[in-house]
Amino acid sequence: MAFRNNFLKQFRTIFFSIVLLLFLFMVIRIIFWRYNHELFTNISFRNIFPIFFWGLKMDLSAIMWLNIPVFILFFISQYFTQKSNTFEYFIIALFIGINISGIAVNIIDIGYFSYIKHRSNADLIYVFGDSLSSLGSLLKNYWILFFLFLLLSAVLIFFAKRIFSIRQDLSDWRTIFISHCLTSGLLILFARGWQSRPLIPSSPLLQIDSRQLPLAQNSVNTFLYSMVRKKNQLLPKKYFTEGELNEIVKTHRYCCTTGSDQDTMLHKNVVICILESFSRFYLTPGDPHKARTPFFDSLIKKSIFFPNAFSNSLSSNQGIVAILAGLPALLDEPFYYSNYANTPISGIGNILKEKGYNTNFFMGASYDHYGFAKFCRMAGIDNYYCRSDFNDDRFYDGNWGIFDEPFLQYGAGVLEKKQQPFLAVFFNLSSHPPFAIPEKFRQQFSSFTQSPAQRSISYVDYSYQQFFETIKKSLWFKNSIFVFCADHYIEPDDGSGYTSVSCTTIPIFIYDPSYEKGIVDTTMISQVDIIPSLLSNLHYKGTYLGFGNNIFDPSVREHYVINRIGQINQIIMSDFVLGYDISNEKSKYLYQYVRDNRLKQNLIADPLYSDTLQKMEYLLKANIQSYNNALIRRSLE
């Protein structure tokens, strides 16, 4: 009887604490679904039950892992023969503090998911730290989520004191110990999801569609799993022999091979303009989401424009690595924060410095915003110009940094004093949410037909127009190549939704003032193709280490895009997209996205497309193996 009472007492306390947390997480999950309902358009009454069943398992697992220290201390408290108020309050405070953190991570993802298209991982640490300066605007725009956090935290605090109690009527440590063992066994079973293999964030893919995976996940699981795997994220793959792999994916190549040893390099200045949160639709004529961009429209007509351009990343701190270092984003966190950051890279700055280039980076945010200063050093960019160098906070946007128009003018002035040839990378800010533009321009760009995001794009267009008006007067202008590329996609704010293909569509175009006639090149291109293609335009002769292909090389047989959407590695080719779950080593979807633009008909099991499936798996696995091996070995050679 004593054993049963003791076991029931412990189990009752833990049971009610778990039920409370399950209730709170379920509320958050439902709100997550409703808040992002346009992103989960293929959910029917029939498949909602497996999604929420897996959600329950993921919530239970998250609760177990979060509360390990709470349950351990609670078990220890059972051996006390007298009530200890201090110890009791400490356990309650620990329970509240840990679980408020879990609630916060899940609520953050309600708003953050629409930008990154997956649940939070280790990257959240860096993003959160760099977003503190704009906390005021975030609270203003997402006040309802902040209110939800306060409400659920209050519920947690209210019930916490009523659930936990140290008071113990028994002094027989043997019965207490046995009951602890039984209770611990149940908790371990919950943590594993009551299945033979432990739960991981991709486990729900065993039964549900990859597009619905984020709805079944708990952000605590994805965040903790990413942190645990941070030191050993990548495993060596052996899909192919080394000889086979080098024939499929060439990360080590000699550029511009000719019969002569003479240096044929065109020492043109290189200006790379990384466009913040620019989706391709903003610049696509006829698209209902197109912004008013008269300058970009005119510039594109004189440029090499790529209407089939895609990103290899979903965030700024990964997009910059793909653009300037030729590495796709296949890690949970930015490359330069990872355990593999000491892998030598052929950053565009490193390459051009060998040819005598002066290398520069311009961004109106604070120094090392998003860790960009760290990465610039890795990529061979020596001079870093930021908000403190601009040194005039009258033009501060109140969120991220200096408005684009004055900062671009500042950058033009700096370049005027530079010795040629130079590399200049501009990373604009004003098209980042909350899309702030200067007061004096608000009426000029305000329109009932344009959203705040579109208005900010129009302001960026105006800012670059003014920038070009200034630099056209410079002697260096006509001896330059300008590359425009977005860091990542942003979802339309009309609720029209996205797919795993559309969320990687970005603008890329190359402008050379010495060529007035534009070209529309329909070849598929991605961010990692920029460096080898740019080196080709410059007639660079030397070694390049990195992913991507020279878009102008007619010998390249297949152009494709590699990226990662949550737990799925993805390859996009001319007509099809394939998603591969590397955790379970299994392809999850195959869509003919050109015809089926909403990705509704999964062709993975259709024998008519078995050759396509095999070909795309072949290429994707080769890239995964090459990427993993390169970072594990700390060498792209």
In this structure, the answer to whether residues 289 and 221 fall within a common structural domain is no
**β pairing state of 269-275 and 422-427:** parallel
> Torsion-angle region of residue 529: left (phi > 0), alpha (psi -120 to 50) or beta?
alpha
Residue where the block lists tokens 């520069």 = 360
pLDDT for 550 equals: 92
Residue where the block lists tokens 């653009």 = 323
Quick check: is 560 in a domain?
yes
What gap in Å lies between CA 187 and CA 229, rounded to an integer?
23
Q: How far is CA 133 from CA 234, 397, 400, 506, 584, in A?
A: 33, 11, 7, 27, 40
In this structure, the answer to whether residues 13 and 73 fall within a common structural domain is yes
pLDDT (tens digit, 9 = 90+) per residue, 18-77? Answer: 889 999 999 999 999 988 887 787 777 677 888 888 888 889 888 888 888 888 777 777
In this structure, the answer to whether residues 199 and 313 fall within a common structural domain is no
In this structure, the answer to whether residues 518 and 589 fall within a common structural domain is yes
Q: Higher model confidence: residue 222 or residue 122?
A: 222
pLDDT (tens digit, 9 = 90+) per residue, 261-292? Answer: 667 789 999 999 999 999 999 999 888 889 99
Quick check: is 293 in a domain?
yes
What gap in Å lies between CA 219 and CA 225, rounded to an integer?
10
pLDDT for 185 equals: 60
**262: Cα within 13 Å, side-chain hemisphere:** 4
Q: What is the DSSP string of 216-285?
A: H--HHHHHHHHHHGGGG------SS-HHHHHHH--SEEEES--S--S------EEEEEEETT--GGGGST
In this structure, the answer to whether residues 276 and 425 fall within a common structural domain is yes
Quick check: is 243 in a domain?
no
Rounded average pLDDT over 592-608: 94
- For helices 2-35 and 85-116, angle between their N-to-C axes, nearest 10 degrees: 30
pLDDT for 199 equals: 74
In this structure, the answer to whether residues 353 and 495 fall within a common structural domain is yes
- CATH number for position 453: 3.40.720.10
Would you say residue 141 has pLDDT above 70?
A: yes
Q: 306, 508 in Cβ contact below 8 A?
A: yes
Q: Higher model confidence: residue 468 or residue 344?
A: 468
Quick check: is 329 in a domain?
yes
- For helices 143-163 and 2-35, angle between their N-to-C axes, nearest 10 degrees: 170
pLDDT for 106 equals: 94
Quick check: is 239 in a domain?
no
pLDDT (tens digit, 9 = 90+) per residue, 422-433? Answer: 999 999 999 998
pLDDT for 26 equals: 94
Asked if omega into 421 is within 30° of 0 (cis), the reply is: yes
Amino acid 275 reads: L
Q: 272, 425 in Cβ contact below 8 A?
A: yes
Residue 344, φ and ψ in degrees, nearest 5: -60, 135
pLDDT (tens digit, 9 = 90+) per residue, 311-326? Answer: 999 999 999 999 999 9
In this structure, the answer to whether residues 359 and 223 fall within a common structural domain is no
Q: 52, 208 in Cβ contact below 8 A?
A: no
Tokens linked to 397: 């946007």
- Mean pLDDT of the residues in the chain: 86
In this structure, the answer to whether residues 502 and 608 fall within a common structural domain is yes
What gap in Å lies between CA 426 and CA 384, rounded to an integer?
10
CA 220, 223, 226, 229 dihedral sign is negative
Candidates 514, 436, 527; CA nearest to 477 is: 514
Among residues 231, 252, 276, the one where a domain terminates is 231
> Domain containing 142: what range?
2-231
Candidates 412, 465, 457; CA nearest to 298 is: 465
Burial class (CB in 10 A: 0-12, 13-18, 19+), 388: exposed
Candidates 112, 127, 25; CA nearest to 372 is: 127
**Cα 24-25-28 angle, rounded to 5 deg:** 90
Tokens linked to 172: 């027989």
In this structure, the answer to whether residues 367 and 482 fall within a common structural domain is yes
> How many domains does the chain divide into?
2
Quick check: is 241 in a domain?
no
Quick check: is 240 in a domain?
no
Model confidence at 178, in pLDDT bands (50, 70, 90)? Answer: low
Q: Higher model confidence: residue 379 or residue 210?
A: 379
Among residues 231, 249, 277, the one where a domain terminates is 231
Quick check: is 370 in a domain?
yes
Rounded average pLDDT over 333-348: 84
What gap in Å lies between CA 280 and CA 10, rounded to an integer?
57
Would you say residue 3 has pLDDT above 50?
A: no
In this structure, the answer to whether residues 615 and 467 fall within a common structural domain is yes
What gap in Å lies between CA 113 and CA 378, rounded to an integer?
29
64-78, 330-344, 350-364: lowest mean pLDDT where? 64-78
pTM score: 0.82
Among residues 205, 231, 257, the one where a domain terminates is 231
What gap in Å lies between CA 636 and CA 623, rounded to an integer?
12
Would you say residue 407 has pLDDT above 80?
A: yes
Would you say residue 260 has pLDDT above 70?
A: no
Calculate what percentage of the chain has a pLDDT beyond 90.
52
In this structure, the answer to whether residues 344 and 469 fall within a common structural domain is yes
Query: Would you give the end-to-end CA distance of the chain in angstroms?
Result: 69
Q: 107, 145 in Cβ contact below 8 A?
A: yes
pLDDT for 172 equals: 56
In this structure, the answer to whether residues 215 and 357 fall within a common structural domain is no
Q: How far is CA 521 from CA 283, 464, 557, in A?
A: 15, 23, 16
Helix, strand or coil, per DSSP, at residue 166: coil
What gap in Å lies between CA 2 and CA 267, rounded to an integer?
86
